[in-house]
């Protein structure tokens, strides 16, 4: 579904990605893991058209994404829960959810306001409140709900559980398991290897702008030197 080949990108003169390659097939949950500053968010920005690659190829299904604007990429069916959960603070919860919604008439299982509220009941209780009154965890649920309302074929989550209380984290992992069971293709970036072990089909370790290893959580577990060398644990 998503294929990245030899991606190069950076900011101004500073190069961040040096030939990064990865694949997410339909129905798979794959990760990008690795220490801070290795290029995970930059990869996401390149996929979404927010950072212009200087080399390599990204394709989504049959569509090359080169040169497409972010809104055009989103419209192809890529949904992002960005790092730092950027919701619209002055809009209500409901307004946030419908603001970028995209109905999917081909799919009777499409995400609607009702389904998102069923997934995250707290959002239903706070439907008419302005988003700025939500806790950090509730804002994160809102960011996930908003991405789902675009009915993405591929959902990308960049550090979605970062800085949240354990109970809220657990709720987000539960949500991701439900999405996986429903066949949602997901790219997840997170630091919690323990939680990801049960969710992810394939990890990609990112080191200095390249994928230096990929394999199943079981394979990662069996090679302690990998985690030590690339993840600092």
Residue 140 CA to residue 38 CA, distance in Å, equals 24
Tokens 């709720």 sit at which residue?
A: 171
Which residue in 2, 4, 20, 42 binds ligand ADP (CB under 6 A)? 42
Tell me the window of 19-27, 36-44, 115-123, 134-142 that interacts with ligand ADP (CB under 6 A): 36-44
Interface residue with ligand ADP, options 39, 49, 137, 152 (CB under 6 A) = 39
**Smaller CB separation from Mg ion, 101 or 160:** 160
Binding piece for Mg ion, criterion CB under 5 A, among 39-47, 62-70, 97-105, 135-143: 39-47
The H or E element that residue 67 is part of is: none
* Residue located via tokens 């439907």: 127
Residue 39 near which of ligand ADP, Mg ion, none (CB within 5-8 Å, type-dependent)? ligand ADP
Residue 176, CA atoms < 13 Å, CB-side half-sphere:
31
151 and 77 Cβ atoms separated by less than 8 Å? yes
Q: Which helix (H) or strand (E) holds 184?
A: none
Please tell me whether residue 169 adopts helix, strand or coil conformation: helix
Nearer to ligand ADP, 51 or 96 (CB): 51
Residues of this chain that bind Mg ion (CB under 5 A): 40-41
Residues of this chain that bind ligand ADP (CB under 6 A): 11, 14, 16, 34, 36-42
């Amino acid at each position: 579904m998503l294929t990245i080949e030899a991606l190069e990108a950076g900011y101004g003169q500073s190069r961040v990605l040096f030939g990064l390659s990865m694949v997410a097939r339909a129905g798979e949950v794959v990760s990008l893991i690795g220490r801070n500053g290795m290029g995970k968010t930059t990869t996401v920005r390149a996929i979404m058209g927010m950072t212009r690659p200087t080399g390599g190829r990204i394709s989504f299904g049959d569509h090359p994404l080169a040169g497409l604007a972010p809104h055009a990429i989103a419209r192809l069916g890529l949904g992002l829960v960005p790092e730092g959960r950027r919701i619209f603070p002055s809009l209500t919860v409901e307004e946030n959810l419908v603001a970028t919604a995209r109905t999917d008439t081909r799919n009777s299982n499409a995400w609607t306001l009702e389904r998102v509220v069923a997934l995250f009941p707290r959002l239903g209780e706070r439907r008419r409140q302005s988003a700025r009154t939500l806790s950090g965890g509730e804002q994160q649920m809102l960011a996930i709900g908003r991405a789902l309302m675009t009915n993405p074929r591929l959902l990308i989550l960049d550090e979605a559980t970062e800085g949240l209380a354990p109970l809220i984290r657990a709720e987000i992992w539960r949500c991701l398991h439900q999405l996986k069971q429903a066949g949602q293709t997901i790219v997840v970036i997170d630091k919690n290897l323990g939680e990801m072990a049960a969710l992810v089909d394939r990890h990609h370790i990112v080191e200095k702008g390249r994928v230096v290893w990929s394999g199943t959580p079981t394979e990662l577990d069996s090679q302690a030197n990998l985690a030590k060398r690339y993840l600092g644990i």
